[in-house]
Structure 1
Amino acid sequence: MSGNIKFEDLHLHKDTDAISKALYQKERVLCWIMTTPKNLDVKTRVVRDTWSRRCNKVLFMSSVTDPKFPTIGLNVSEGRRHLTAKTMHAFRYIYENHFDDADWFMKADDDTYVILENLRYFLTSQNKSEPVFFGHHFKTIVKQGYNSGGGGYVLSKQALRRYGEKGHDPKLCHPDGGSEDAEFGRCMENLGVRTVNTTDALGRSRFHCFTPEIHLEGGYPKWYYQYDANGAKKGADSVSDYAISFHYVPPQKMYFLEFYIYHLRPYGIVSGTQELNRHVKVKPGTLIQPHAK
């Protein structure tokens, strides 16, 4: 599978997608992707052409405006030392320009892969009016912990409102410096926005800061055992069947994931809504609420 493959080239199964379509309308997700000019043709193009198409709205945030891609240029210098500023500016821009366009607001990197259907499924058990944010939970640095930037994190509408109203105060939210995800997590804590457990009913992880292979095989770096709030588990029994995100996914592997998730099927096995109801018959437009977690 070459790097030039297009999503449109892949055969589409005629699946019954009434539930995912209903959730698309009910749980509106704005995705913003942190990127750089040098990554547009290598990484970001693939994100644009694969999973981000399933967001209700997607914005690509960079240091330079590129109307052809398109990207939104923020008044921030490039480099890891300024990732905090890029995130703070991006959420400020979204609050001021797109607050009414979604109910949930997700930040992801240009090497993050997200399964939007599983995100929306998880969000049906959450309340957008509560000051909460979700992701791969780290338990260090910030009192309540914070969510991995690479694994992607999601703000409720109320969380974004609090940031928009008070996040400009440098005493609450550092404008730049430090580790982006930790600093934003500290900002959320100072604004009274809570981290929430995102594991499924069996205690399996949904958001992931590494590739699927790493979470299946283990071999984590030493720091991860101190950071991960759920015990740095590994293996197929530790990853949710309804996983939401993975990080450090190179462009070619994004195409592979598109194929495995949306096209490869074991004949004779019906999958996709078992956790909702194994025997229900879904009519188009019907919304099934998930079991409480």
Structure 2
Amino acid sequence: MANVRLCIVLVSAMALVPIFYFTAFSFTITRTLLPITRKENLFQYAHFRESNSGYTSGSSIVHDPDFLARELAERVRVLCWVMTSPDNVETRVKYVVRTWARRCNKLVIISSKANDTYGIVAINVGEGRDQLTQKTLGGFHYVYKHHLDDADWFLKADDDTYVIVENLRYLLSNEDTHKPVYFGHHFNSIGTFDYSSGGSGFVVSKEALRRFGRAGNNSTVCRQNGSAGDEAFGQCMGNLGVELKNSTDRYGRTRFHCLKPSDYVFGNFPEWLFNYDANGVKKGMESISDYVISFHYVRGEQMDLLEYLIYHAKPYGLKNVLQDLNQH
């Protein structure tokens, strides 16, 4: 009988061994992951996952190169709303939908006329440059009313803006959407507050959108009509206590751009930009961030070209090494 009890004890102890090791392993992994999965340690987390994302099969190691982009897409939810007009549906919107905008968590296209083919929604506004303020504010009111809970950040772009959404999420991964902030191509004030170029696209936090939704109809707070919709929206944000934060990378290189790529590479700048650009106009590839976010005046098939060069063309034998470029 004593031998039976001894056997039972030994079997029970042996059964606890794998449980002990599993618990210890889980504790170790938890202690390793918890500190580095916080948003302020994204870069360390990326390297940890990169070094542990493969498995050995024979003599080869298989890696998942897109894991970080997918995880950011889940954690940094971006709604993109694109401002367009009926005349630009086939010449611009078609290309937006099939290229960069499909990487947004939610896409809303706003015009003065609905279009079922591309899911375009209509708001009560006219067309023309003198309607840009009504259209910009109206678009944000629509997003606030119908999609506030669908995302954490809300990007407004034109139908000729090209956006690298993964790099936008990387910028935002260090930021708190519950704070009243927004980002874009930083322009000097022509009123009271600095503002972002509309053509470069700009992205607002959930708190910024919430403040706008509650008070944006007040004409003493936000100008309700006229041209220069980006400037009007910037003054509105300033009056609502929303800060336009610096979007350059840690080396001072630009991420949002109000002109097309070649203008920045070759320095083909209009004179007015030297007065507006708050960070100083610089030309050359060395002045553009490796994690660039947007360019303006990219129309039609030019979007297909950028799509190919960014997401498909790859130099053989070169590895894409992650960089820590956010400002801290």
| TM-score greater than 0.5 by the shorter chain | yes
The 2-side partners of 1:292 and 1:208 are apart by: 18
Aligned CA-pair RMSD: 1.3
The list of structure 1 runs, each at least 4 consecutive aligned residues, that deviate by more than 3 angstroms after superposition, is: 290-293
1:167 is matched with 216
| 1:132 matches 2:181 | yes
Deviations 1:36-88 (A, max 9, x none): 11100111110011100000000110001122221110100111100110111
Deviation at 1:178, TM superposition (A): 3.1
The residue type equivalent to 2:185 in the other structure is: H
Aligned positions, number: 266
Match of 2:232 among 183, 189, 198: 183
Deviation at 1:23, TM superposition (A): 0.2
1:225 is matched with 274
The verdict on how the C-alpha distance between 1:265 and 1:41 changes in structure 2, with shifts beyond 3 A counting, is same
**1:268-283 correspondence to structure 2 within 5 Å:** 268-271=317-320, 273-276=321-324
Match of 2:294 among 237, 240, 245: 245
Question: Which structure's relative contact order is higher, taking Cα pairs within 8 Å and 6+ residues apart?
Answer: 1
Whether the aligned pair in 1 keeps the contact of 2:195 and 2:235 (CA below 8 Å) is yes
Deviations 1:205-225 (A, max 9, x none): 000000111011112111000
Deviation at 1:239, TM superposition (A): 0.3
The residue type equivalent to 1:161 in the other structure is: R
The 2-side partners of 1:83 and 1:291 are apart by: 32
The 1-side partners of 2:64 and 2:249 are apart by: 25
Higher alpha-carbon deviation: 168-177 or 136-145 = 136-145
Whether the aligned pair in 1 keeps the contact of 2:249 and 2:327 (CA below 8 Å) is no
Identical amino acids, percent of aligned pairs: 48
| 1:79 matches 2:128 | yes
Whether the aligned pair in 2 keeps the contact of 1:144 and 1:194 (CA below 8 Å) is no
The 2-side partners of 1:125 and 1:142 are apart by: 30
Deviation at 1:292, TM superposition (A): 4.7
The 1-side partners of 2:143 and 2:208 are apart by: 12
The residue type equivalent to 2:164 in the other structure is: I
The verdict on how the C-alpha distance between 1:60 and 1:225 changes in structure 2, with shifts beyond 3 A counting, is same
TM-score (norm 2): 0.79
Deviation at 1:142, TM superposition (A): 3.4
Match of 1:92 among 134, 141, 145: 141
Deviation at 1:291, TM superposition (A): 5.9
**1:1-293 correspondence to structure 2 within 5 Å:** 16-271=65-320, 273-276=321-324, 292-293=327-328
The 2-side partners of 1:129 and 1:112 are apart by: 26
Question: Any idea what SS the aligned residue of 1:89 has?
Answer: helix
Whether the aligned pair in 2 keeps the contact of 1:142 and 1:185 (CA below 8 Å) is no
Deviations 1:231-261 (A, max 9, x none): 1111111100000000001211111100110
The residue type equivalent to 2:205 in the other structure is: S
TM-score (norm 1): 0.88
The 2-side partners of 1:230 and 1:106 are apart by: 21
Whether the aligned pair in 1 keeps the contact of 2:129 and 2:227 (CA below 8 Å) is no
Where does structure 2 lack aligned partners over 5 or more consecutive residues?
A: 1-62
1:6 is matched with none
The 1-side partners of 2:223 and 2:311 are apart by: 40
Structure 1 or 2: larger helix share? 2
Whether the aligned pair in 1 keeps the contact of 2:188 and 2:276 (CA below 8 Å) is yes
The 1-side partners of 2:138 and 2:222 are apart by: 11
Whether the aligned pair in 2 keeps the contact of 1:206 and 1:245 (CA below 8 Å) is yes
The residue type equivalent to 1:44 in the other structure is: V
Deviations 1:128-166 (A, max 9, x none): 011001000001313331000000000000000000111
The residue type equivalent to 1:70 in the other structure is: G
